[in-house]
Amino acid sequence: MPTARRLADVPAALQVEGLVKRYGAHTALHGVDLQVDSGELVGLLGPNGAGKSTLTKIACGLVRPTQGRATVAGHAAGSTQARTSQGYLAELFRFPGWATADEVMLLHQRLAGSTQGAAERADLLALVGLDDARGRRVEAMSKGMQQRLGIAQALVGEPRLLLLDEPTSALDPAGRRTVRDLLVEVQRRGVAVLLNTHLLSEVELVCDRVVIIDHGRVVTAGRPDELVRPRGVEVETAGGRRIVAGAGRADAPRIVAELVAAGEQVYGVQVLSSTLEDVYLDAVGDSEAVRTGGAA
Ligand SMILES: Nc1ncnc2c1ncn2[C@@H]1O[C@H](COP(=O)(O)OP(=O)(O)OP(=O)(O)O)[C@@H](O)[C@H]1O
Ligand SMILES: [Mg+2]
């Protein structure tokens, strides 16, 4: 997996400090700190209503924070410099049905002030696998194609930061994989990504870091492999399977040796660790249960 570039003299692609957002009496964000470094792919997870889209909209200048600040490549969110440094794909977007893929791209080049012309449009449509569909109207595209076109328009003007609000929610498994591969390629080009999603497997597979928010607060953050914890060692003997709780990888040889010394035959041994789903449900489980009216 590509590693994030952490250069001391380069401002973070996205820096969010003490962000508070109140919608009337409702507080959607309670003081959120978050950073996306250059070239880093960060997954933003959380239950419905946690504040993910609010945070993303503040980052791209569509919503004003009540307190705190957000900067994109060192510029205040919403400023012209910040906007030219970022690309955004909204949670619910709809391009005009009559426009072709190429026309959608042209429109966004005009909006972004890009002077890269046909070469940029061709490059980005090829990047998302739509090179053969440049003349196709949006209304004749599948959801997956529209989603990929959405990512292509967000990349117009060579942004340093891509803000994607649930870019795979409407896609089938093959479409999700295509977008995942696309994100890896985007990151390879040096673009930082804040990926807002409910798909934990997606985060586990492509993200350098994950930030979990709930009720407008960051409840967990870290690298996916750092967040998962050991859950014991499972051994299979003639007597069946059992789990030695609290044991880790380093204990496995001793456990096997002791079983063999005791005359048991060992058919299998597996080191168990919690999944990102366990980590997520530990962090927000009660919220999920409250929202669904049952146990998480
Ligand atoms: N324009 C608005 N006016 C009033 N309340 C809002 C507005 N936008 C969002 N909210 C509220 O703020 C909270 C956070 O909403 P937000 O859309 O940021 O959540 P989310 O994490 O993106 O959820 P989802 O996973 O469902 O997309 C919710 O309680 C929502 O009802
Ligand atoms: Mg949302």
**H or E element: which one contains 226?**
helix 224-227
Token digits of residue 32: 């959120």
Minimal-distance CA residue to ligand 1 atom 2: 23
- Among all chains, which residue has been given the structure tokens 């597996």? 270
- Compute how many other C-beta atoms are within 10 angstroms of the C-beta atom of residue 91: 14
- Compute how many other C-beta atoms are within 10 angstroms of the C-beta atom of residue 6: 11
C-alpha closest to that of 233 among 254, 259, 252: 252
Any ligand 1 atom below 6 A from CB of 94:
no
Over residues 45-66, the pLDDT tens digits come to: 999 999 999 999 999 999 999 9
Question: What are the residue ranges spanned by the domains of the chain?
Answer: 14-226, 228-292
Token digits of residue 120: 């940029």
Burial class (CB in 10 A: 0-12, 13-18, 19+), 115: exposed
Q: Lowest-confidence range among 31-35, 168-172, 210-214, 221-225?
A: 168-172
Where residue 288 falls among pLDDT bands split at 50, 70, 90? low
Most ligand 1 atoms within 8 A of CB, residue of 19, 20, 21, 26 to mutate: 26
CATH architecture label of 14-226: 3-Layer(aba) Sandwich (3.40)
- 137 versus 206: the higher-pLDDT residue is 137
- Among all chains, which residue has been given the structure tokens 């739509």? 130
In this prediction, residue 278 carries a pLDDT of: 85
Where residue 172 falls among pLDDT bands split at 50, 70, 90? confident
Q: How far is the CA of 88 from the centre of ligand 1 (A)?
A: 18
Over residues 226-251, the pLDDT tens digits come to: 888 778 899 999 989 999 988 888 99
Phi first, then psi, for residue 265 (nearest 5°) are -100, 125
Where residue 69 falls among pLDDT bands split at 50, 70, 90? very high
Residue 123 scores a pLDDT above 50: yes
Most ligand 1 atoms within 8 A of CB, residue of 20, 22, 29, 54 to mutate: 54
What number is the average pLDDT over the span 2-13?
Answer: 66
Minimal-distance CA residue to ligand 1 atom 11: 28
Do residues 269 and 256 make contact, with C-beta atoms less than 8 angstroms apart? yes
In this prediction, residue 104 carries a pLDDT of: 97
Minimal-distance CA residue to ligand 1 atom 24: 48
Residue 266 scores a pLDDT above 80: yes
